[in-house]
Amino acid sequence: MPELPEVETFRRYIEAGALCSPIRRTEVRNRIVLAIAPEELERRTQGAMFRSVRRHGKQLFLELSSCGWLTWHFGMTGEPVLFMDGEEPRFPRVLFHFPDATLAHDDPRMLGRIGWTATIEEFVRRKRLGPDALSISRSDFVERFAGARGAVKPALMDQHRMAGVGNIYADEVLFQSRLDPRTEVGRLSRQDLEGMHRNMRRVLKLSIDRGTDFSRFPRSYLLHHRRRGASCPGCGGTVETVTLGGRTTYFCPACQMGRAPRRAAGGGR
């Protein structure tokens, strides 16, 4: 699933190639990906332009010259594709046709959603999204997580507490912080939380800087070893898995020793 770095990469991609060009026609091929009636989407976009593009967590917002913002979530497999005639992607679900190019929501599994909101603030409030993971201050991060319950991995992925971090980057942040993902959040010290905030910013920024190309990440990152039984890049031990919050979690028990409960919360190895 596209997480904050991937969506930030999408934002820059759209900003570079799809702004300030009139939308001649909006074509909906699969209305299942819409959180708005097709007729309303066509009415709001016809003849309008995308004036700017912003991001909050995993959510993208495209400002319409006509009024309001198009909302764009990419689900598990969605991505924006800008193409010329004859270069159509394989799974275009919604297409915005400009005079010289087309912007498509390409989504094999159709789990993404496109909608509309009057303001970004109203959308964030209605969806009860937490602060953006790259914008949240250290003090706000500590306050929000110090009061959390349960294991630290699901807490990091809770979009109501903080928006943007998903399964893959949560694993990496905890590995870089040397924290066991099963650790009860309430058992973490302020120093632990400040370190986690620092590592989260570093991991997310590095991913954005390297175009979310995992092959360009340092070999010391767990991302290269997210396989059960793989060798840990830190100590050479064995990477193990546990299910937390319904998601498979990869970690090294030898490196990530901090404050884990005796029994894994939410699943076994």
Quick check: 108 and 95 in contact, CB under 8 A? Answer: no
Helical pair 190-209 and 4-17, crossing angle rounded to 10 deg: 40
Give me the mean pLDDT over the 235-251 stretch.
95
Catalytic residue among 2, 92, 131, 181: 2
Sheet (strand 59-64) strand order: 50-56, 59-64, 69-73, 113-117
- Per-residue pLDDT of 119-128, as tens digits, reads 999 999 999 9
Would residue 58 show up in a list of annotated catalytic residues for this protein? yes
User: Is pLDDT of 252 > 90?
Assistant: yes
User: Is pLDDT of 258 > 80?
Assistant: no
Confidence at 259, pLDDT banded by 50, 70, 90: low
Q: What is the pTM of this model?
A: 0.92
CA distance 105 to 91: 8
Confidence at 266, pLDDT banded by 50, 70, 90: very low
CATH number attached to the domain at 4-126: 3.20.190.10
According to the CATH classification, is domain 138-251 in 3.40.50.300? Answer: no
Mean pLDDT of the chain, nearest integer: 94
CA distance 188 to 191: 8
User: Is pLDDT of 238 > 90?
Assistant: yes
**Strand stretches in the chain, DSSP E:** 25-28, 50-56, 59-64, 69-73, 79-83, 92-97, 102-106, 113-117, 240-244, 247-251
Per DSSP, what are the bridge partners of residue 50?
64
* Residue matched to tokens 């969806």: 127
- Per-residue pLDDT of 15-69, as tens digits, reads 999 999 999 999 999 999 999 999 999 999 999 999 999 999 999 999 999 999 9
Per DSSP, what are the bridge partners of residue 54?
61
Catalytic residue among 11, 55, 58, 182: 58
Residue 85, pLDDT score: 80
Residue 105, pLDDT score: 98
Backbone φ and ψ for 113, nearest 5 degrees, come out as -145, 135
Give me the mean pLDDT over the 250-260 stretch.
83
- H-assigned helices in the chain: 4-17, 38-45, 120-126, 138-146, 152-157, 167-177, 190-209
Domain boundaries, the chain: 4-126, 138-251
User: Is pLDDT of 265 > 60?
Assistant: no
Find, among 188, 181, 199, the residue nearest to 248 by Cα. Answer: 181
CA distance 170 to 145: 14
Would residue 55 show up in a list of annotated catalytic residues for this protein? no
CA distance 179 to 251: 9
Would residue 153 show up in a list of annotated catalytic residues for this protein? no
Quick check: 47 and 23 in contact, CB under 8 A? Answer: yes
